[in-house]
Amino acid sequence: MIRQKLLTAVMVVALVATGMTASAGAVTAPSVETTTSISESTTVTVTNVVDGDTIDIEYQNGSTDTVRLLGVDTPETYGSVSPGEFEGVPDTQAGRECLQPAGENASAYATDQLAGQTVTLQFDSQADRRGDYGRLLAYVQVDGSNFNYDLVERGHARVYDSTFSQSDSFYSAESTAQSAERNAWSCRTPNDDDGSSGGDASALTIDWVNAEASSLNDERVKITNTGSSSIDLDGFTLSDEAGYSHTFAGFTLGASDSVYVHTGSGTNDADDRYMGYGTEIWNDDGDTATVQTAVGTTVAQLAY
């Protein structure tokens, strides 16, 4: 009888230990694939912008992944561009030379809008969950807006020929961007279009660069429109010799107006734009500020 009780006690202890192990395993964070497959959306942080249509992200549990923006394709920046993929862009040297900076501008715009931001990934039941190289395929929602659609609407991207539920609205936005020759679509006439979508871009001047500043936002550049009509600066970039840059998005500079581009972070408005850097970028002992159109044409430059 004593032996039987002892055996029963051992079995109880073993079962309790097994239960504790199972309980401990239950609180282990689920894998990334499990997390994303059970939800139509998930909140992540953008840790790196690879190019205009690809980002690296981190989940709330610390896992990482790469996302290919669903339904869109921006011009290549790391390899040779393919004009044939962009309807109406000539497959010529001029077309390629136009698309290359257009791809860089798309990347700069994505960096300006997404880098370091907390965004929501949304998945489409009509599309694959993962594409080439195992990358997630998703819409990126920023402040309630679909960034994938925004890229197409602004002409930074074409619609990627694939199956997804929002394709009709994307194609409609693409058609409008093509007609207006916005950003990459200005490459349809690369020899005649300087990339500006309104006003005389040659009227832009860089008045000064305040490099010896007491704070990041005191370090700033003043740009003025000396012309008699407004200039649409959407897609234009301001950069220094080292490649630090700011891409203007949805911004028009009125006739005789000026805008101050600050190095640090802040809220963009009609008079002030912010590059979002955490360190000074304009060299105290000399640098060159350059403003280029969406297709890479230099329209203003100041060396100091």
pLDDT one-digit tens code per residue, 220-249: 999 999 988 888 898 899 999 998 999 998
Q: Report the pLDDT value the prediction gives residue 152, as an integer from 0 to 100.
A: 96
Nearest CA-CA partner of 74 in 114, 129, 40: 114
How many helices (H) and strands (E) are present in the chain, helices listed first? Answer: 5, 18
Alpha helices in the chain (DSSP H): 2-26, 32-37, 93-114, 147-153, 167-180
In single-letter form, the type of residue at position 219 comes to E
Which of 68, 96, 154, 188 is the catalytic position? 68
Q: CA–CA separation, 216 vs 206, rounded Å?
A: 19
Residues 285-300 have pLDDT tens digits of 999 999 999 888 889 9
76 is catalytic: yes
Residues 134-181 have pLDDT tens digits of 999 999 999 889 999 999 999 999 999 999 999 999 999 999 999 888
181 is catalytic: no
In angstroms, the Cα distances linking 17 to 14, 25, 201 are 5, 12, 75
User: Average pLDDT over the chain, rounded to whole?
Assistant: 84
Which of 85, 97, 130, 135 is the catalytic position? 135
- Residue 251 scores a pLDDT above 70: yes
Residues 4-34 have pLDDT tens digits of 444 444 443 343 344 433 333 333 333 333 3
135 is catalytic: yes
List the structure tokens of 46. Answer: 């953008």
Across the beta sheet with 220-225, the strand order is 204-210, 220-225, 258-262, 272-274
Which of 76, 85, 241, 280 is the catalytic position? 76
List the structure tokens of 124. Answer: 């489409």
Decide if 287 contacts 241 (C-beta within 8 A).
yes
